[in-house]
A and B are shown apart, each in its own frame.
Chain A
Amino acid sequence: MPRWGMVIDLDKCVGCQACTVACKAENNVPHGSPEEQGLRREIYWNKVIAVTNGKYPRVNTQLIPMPCMHCDHAPCVTVCPAKATYRRKDGIIVQDFRRCIGCKYCMVACPYGARSFNSKEQDEKEYYRHDLAPDRSVWGQWPFPSRTHGVVEKCTFCFHRIDRGMKEGKKIGKEVVPACVEDCPSNARIFGDLDDPDSELSHLLSSREWFRLREELDTKAKVYYLPK
């Protein structure tokens, strides 16, 4: 069984937020209004944070794209009372909206702020646009055609793409990748199997220096960053 992971090369990342937008389009994540963003109610499955060190004019800015880290020791999985969030055999942490009771305990426990609460019904007219989205009918059981409010959402590593690619016998990581990886203009993101020694991911991790976020919590995150 593969163990899916991601490498984000901070040297290549330009901070264009294409991953954020691609994720929203792919997973039908609602766009929030400016008011909602100010109130911190907008749903992000992927975010890009800017971190500064020092003072102008001697200042260093780092741009860190942050999807869900899909931790092997995920705090959210430990605290979920309803088994709504769980670790699949391939290491992806998924959220089952049917089981989720909306207690938000996972949002409290997540050290990466990767989870968002859906606090309103999705507006069909504005956000659910068949004309723009890719043809979803061929993907079979699409998990989130439209969603209900009152549950917690998060990045899924686009498991619907992976599952379909596996079924069709395609090479995951080359032919089939999550939407954020596909849309990255500078190829800063690489997706693949961490347990496969021949994957591009394994080559990068063995040849370059890398770090993970918040190592002090020992969450064994599967998103690796290559420093500048």
Chain B
Amino acid sequence: MSLAFTATRGNSRSFYTLATLLAIFTVVGLLCFITSYIRGHQVLGSSNVIPWGIPIVVAIYLIGLSAGSLILSSMTYVLGREEYRPISRIAVFLAIVLVFGAMVAIAVDLGRPEKTWRLFIFFVLNNMRSMFAINGILYGGYFVISLLYLGFIFAEKSKWTKMMGTLAIFWAALVHMGTGAIFGFVAARPIFYSPIKPFEFLAAAMASGLALLILVVVSVFRFTNRTLNKEMIFFLSRLLLALILVLFTMVFVDKLTHLYPPHREATIWLLTGPYSWVFWGIQVGCAYLLPILVLIHPRYGKTIKGVIGAAFFVVVGIFGERFALVIPGTAHPLPFYPGKIEGIWGAAGSFPLTPIETLMCLGIFALMGLFFIAGLKHLDLLPVDENEGQTPVKAKEG
């Protein structure tokens, strides 16, 4: 099956309206970042007790989406499933845009963002025992590999594409497992500390990446009046169901291992404390239960609307999963000494959502949306369609 690809025209009024809107949000985000850079992190929600805030939540979320999206593009280019060819280019491009957004999110959360390069001076001045430094290699390599991968796809060199695709899958899996290791290897934080974290992150990455891909593909194809192979979407929804079940099992085992030994105070606090609504409502409810119920439903699971709904729940729910890991993971007070620690040192931290932090993160999403619609306009990402009355594209920024 040979397939020609093309760019969208991107010259209608709504395209430019969307681009302007995204540009405005990007500029607002940039201004917020400059404010936080000049005035310090006092304008953000993070504190000494919760050092990592929303930008880190966004960063690991985007890395997960990116890795999942890239792994799924391999179905065409490595496993040779031709029926997914129409969406594979867009999957690789999406992965690049998302990992770029993730790097921006990490950079804006650093106290000294002008020293971001220090994360990427492989081996020279880096402490290679640090998971962060190892992830510097992984992220840098990932960016280069996926760019080359997309380049080979555009050049239509199928042998090179297959080789690069194989490398890209392994690298993407490694990238997200490395991100999980940043959390899983920290012994001081009981909610983080778990050998299963890298695998849990990988499962979450694939589930959320697939869900986002379904959302993006369906909405882009719909807004450009392209015909979509429904069977393909239904197969992807089965895959999504399987991935959610794997993820659910991993999270269940992870929490169970944390609850079983007597050292269970922090996890009980997560499940019943002030952040329990994020865990039960968004993570368990939105990311696992609702999509599973929708996808196994005999009627809704067989409609495009049902699949889109499930994918949307997963995309939102996995954000909740990241939030429920990063913020409560550090908020629970450390047991310095046996007994009840009085005063602020024994109190759980609270995380205020500040407008600057929120707008900064929205700016990152808007920046990615800009890159995405620019890519749709200037790169041949979408299959040529016989309905030539193509209307502009709506970007889906997750």
Task: Report whether chain A binds chain B.
Answer: yes
CA distance A113 to B344 in the complex (A): 12
Q: Is the interface of B mostly helix, strand, loop or mixed?
A: loop
Which residues on A sit within 8 Å (CB–CB) of B129? Answer: 78-79
Contact B46 A117 (CB under 8 A): yes
Name the CB-closest residue of B to A121. B40
Contact A82 B48 (CB under 8 A): no
- B344 CB, nearest partner CB in chain A, Å: 6
Which of B40, B129, B346 has the most C-beta atoms of chain A within 10 angstroms of its own C-beta? B40
- A135 CB, nearest partner CB in chain B, Å: 29
Q: A49-B345, A50-B343, A52-B342 given as contacts; is B111 within 8 A of A104 (CB)?
A: yes
B residues contacting A by CB (< 8 A) are 37, 39-42, 44, 46-52, 109-113, 115-116, 118-119, 125-127, 129-133, 136, 182, 186-189, 192, 330, 334-346, 349, 352
Which residues on B sit within 8 Å (CB–CB) of A109? Answer: 186-188
- A80 CB, nearest partner CB in chain B, Å: 6
Q: Which 7 A-B pairs have the closest CB atoms?
A: A102-B111, A150-B111, A149-B40, A104-B51, A111-B188, A81-B132, A81-B133
Additional pairs, 16, CB under 8 Å, beyond known A49-B346, A151-B111 = A49-B345, A51-B341, A51-B342, A75-B187, A81-B119, A81-B127, A82-B125, A82-B126, A99-B115, A100-B115, A101-B111, A105-B182, A108-B188, A109-B187, A117-B111, A150-B112
21 contacts between A and B (CB under 8 A): A41-B42, A41-B48, A49-B336, A49-B343, A50-B342, A50-B343, A51-B336, A51-B341, A81-B127, A99-B125, A102-B110, A102-B111, A103-B111, A105-B132, A107-B48, A109-B187, A113-B49, A121-B40, A150-B111, A213-B336, A213-B337
Q: A101-B119, A107-B51, A117-B46 given as contacts; is B337 within 8 A of A150 (CB)?
A: no
Contact B339 A118 (CB under 8 A): no
Contact A83 B40 (CB under 8 A): no
The yes or no answer to A161 lying at the interface (CB within 8 A) is: no
Which residues on B sit within 8 Å (CB–CB) of A120? Answer: 39-42
The yes or no answer to A95 lying at the interface (CB within 8 A) is: no
Contact B334 A113 (CB under 8 A): yes
CA distance A106 to B214 in the complex (A): 38
The yes or no answer to A28 lying at the interface (CB within 8 A) is: no
- B355 CB, nearest partner CB in chain A, Å: 16
Contact A52 B118 (CB under 8 A): no
Contact of A82 among B47, B119, B131 (CB under 8 A): B119
CA distance A75 to B331 in the complex (A): 19
Which residues on A sit within 8 Å (CB–CB) of B111? Answer: 100-104, 117-118, 149-152
The yes or no answer to A146 lying at the interface (CB within 8 A) is: no
Contact B188 A217 (CB under 8 A): yes
Contact of B344 among A37, A52, A116, A214 (CB under 8 A): A37
Contact B112 A39 (CB under 8 A): no
The yes or no answer to A202 lying at the interface (CB within 8 A) is: no
The yes or no answer to A14 lying at the interface (CB within 8 A) is: no
Which residues on A sit within 8 Å (CB–CB) of B127? Answer: 77-78, 80-83
Contact A119 B188 (CB under 8 A): no
CA distance A214 to B144 in the complex (A): 43
Q: A64-B337, A116-B48 given as contacts; is B342 within 8 A of A105 (CB)?
A: no
Name the CB-closest residue of A to B135. A81
CA distance A60 to B340 in the complex (A): 10
Range of interface residues on A (Cβ < 8 Å): 35 or more
Name the CB-closest residue of B to A149. B40
The yes or no answer to A13 lying at the interface (CB within 8 A) is: no
Contact A53 B338 (CB under 8 A): yes
Contact of B40 among A50, A111, A119 (CB under 8 A): A119
Which residues on B sit within 8 Å (CB–CB) of A101? Answer: 110-112, 115-116, 118-119
Q: Mark A27-44, 1 if CB is under 8 A from B, else 0.
A: 000000000111111110
Contact A111 B342 (CB under 8 A): no
Name the CB-closest residue of A to B335. A214
Name the CB-closest residue of B to A54. B339
Contact of A52 among B130, B132, B189, B339 (CB under 8 A): B339
Find residues 35-91 in chain A having any chain B CB closer than 8 Å to their own CB: 36-43, 47, 49-53, 60-62, 64, 66, 75, 77-83
- B137 CB, nearest partner CB in chain A, Å: 11
Contact of B41 among A62, A119, A217 (CB under 8 A): A119
Which residues on A sit within 8 Å (CB–CB) of B330? Answer: 108
- A101 CB, nearest partner CB in chain B, Å: 4
Which residues on B sit within 8 Å (CB–CB) of A112? Answer: 334, 336
CA distance A26 to B291 in the complex (A): 58
The yes or no answer to A158 lying at the interface (CB within 8 A) is: no
Name the CB-closest residue of A to B107. A101
Which residues on B sit within 8 Å (CB–CB) of A214? Answer: 335-336
Contact A108 B47 (CB under 8 A): no
Contact A119 B42 (CB under 8 A): yes
Which residues on B sit within 8 Å (CB–CB) of A99? Answer: 115, 118, 125
Q: A64-B336, A104-B52 given as contacts; is B345 within 8 A of A217 (CB)?
A: no
The yes or no answer to A25 lying at the interface (CB within 8 A) is: no
Name the CB-closest residue of B to A37. B344
- B211 CB, nearest partner CB in chain A, Å: 28
The yes or no answer to A226 lying at the interface (CB within 8 A) is: no
- B135 CB, nearest partner CB in chain A, Å: 8
Contact B131 A79 (CB under 8 A): yes
Name the CB-closest residue of A to B352. A39
The yes or no answer to A188 lying at the interface (CB within 8 A) is: no
Q: A51-B337, A112-B334, A113-B336 given as contacts; is B115 within 8 A of A105 (CB)?
A: no
Find residues 112-146 in chain A having any chain B CB closer than 8 Å to their own CB: 112-113, 115-121
Contact B186 A79 (CB under 8 A): yes
